[in-house]
Amino acid sequence: MDVLRDWQDAPAVVLSCPGPMRRHTAALLPLHKTTLPQVFLGGESQLLAFAASVPGLAGRLFFAPLPEMFSEPDSLHAAWRAAGHAAPEPGQTVHLRFGSVRDARILKNARNAAVIAESHSAPPLTASHHPFASGQVLPAATERLFVYGPHTRRPNPIGKGALPETDLAESAVTADLDATPPRKPQRAGLDLVRLAKYDAAAWAAGSMTTQDNDGLPAADTRPAVLLPWNMAHFGSIVPELLKRLATLRRPDAPIPVMVIMPFNYLGLTGIIRSLIADLRAAAAAPDALMNEMFIARVTRLPGLAMLKNLTRTVWIDGNDPESWWTHARFTAGGFEPILIDPGQSQPAPNRFPADEPIRIEADTRFGPLSFDAKLPALRALPHLLATTAPRRRGPRRA
């Protein structure tokens, strides 16, 4: 395929993205046998959209949950045998890594490339001595970049200069959505859980059952908002925005039903549990708030129709380097995203200014990191809330 150019004759193309190993049944498996628990946003969606955009590679696409685990050739050869595929000669396999630059990994004895969806953004104000803390560098074995356009960043490998790069076609953003025919809403494709019932172990395992899921009553006409949360972006304003909304909620002044959609989630990091604790501390009636806020993810694309039955309003954190990707995905999915914009733009139907500077201090697996960001001031939140609308009673068409 032309997208791989010099690598188009590779006998196997291994795709990977961040995520817990325990979601998967093998260390290497054909892509069509892979089940990812969150397919609409973040690195997982980037991987699946790319795969859908190159149908000619379908028989050569494989998935590795943790490519870095193959430290010796023998272990990789065993994985190829278990996957029912002859082991390619050393250096013939192509490995494409999706997801945050900080979480880039390599596959030894392969030609490694990083697929970059993050846009140009300021590095953290402070960073530890961890080699990947800045989010601006890649592993030294990375040989090429695949990018979505001039707005995406161009990180360099450690100790090296600029890499060759390949622009991906527009189809690499939404090919999986375009290939999914409209269907009736399917609850099996959407995990939706009240924060009051959130179970960290079940969420991390990606094994939610129908009994684990909640739903908004059909007769409930309160406005609802989808709030995507990039957990790989440690400078996200989403937790602070939710805390401010929690302080506004009163019995005589309800806030919209907030449906939080975390993505780029690595597992039991405790971040979601910390958010829940912070929201409880901020709310005047914490138990009521926990039953009015939800956590959600799309596990299969037909679940998007069910999500649209809840609401089509989406607030997107414009500080997030993946905000353009998130915006493009929701737009293609038939939603009505509003960008919370830290720039200087004026209010518009699809854009809301973030005018209050804040500093976010995060204790991360890369050490303490500090970020400058902007979010809507408390006085502006009623205007942001006014962008929501009551839900219609009963389902509406996708």
H helix intervals, 146-237 = 171-178, 200-205
The pLDDT tens digits of the residues spanning 198-241 come to 988 888 877 676 556 676 655 566 789 999 999 999 999 999 99
Quote the CA–CA distance of 25 and 5 in Å, as a whole number: 32
Quote the CA–CA distance of 320 and 239 in Å, as a whole number: 13
Question: How many residues can be counted in the chain?
Answer: 398
Looking at residue 74, its pLDDT comes to 87
Q: Which residues of the chain have pLDDT under 50?
A: 393-398
Looking at residue 398, its pLDDT comes to 39
The residues spanned by each domain of the chain are: 2-178, 187-385
Kindly list the distances between the CA atom of residue 15 and the CA atoms of 19, 98, 191, in Å, as whole numbers in the listed order. 13, 8, 25
**CATH top-level class for 187-385?**
alpha beta
Please state the pTM of the whole predicted model. 0.92
The answer to whether the CB of 67 falls within 8 A of the CB of 14 is: yes
Looking at residue 279, its pLDDT comes to 95
CA atoms within 13 A on the CB side of 65: 18
The answer to whether the CB of 112 falls within 8 A of the CB of 166 is: no
Looking at residue 395, its pLDDT comes to 44
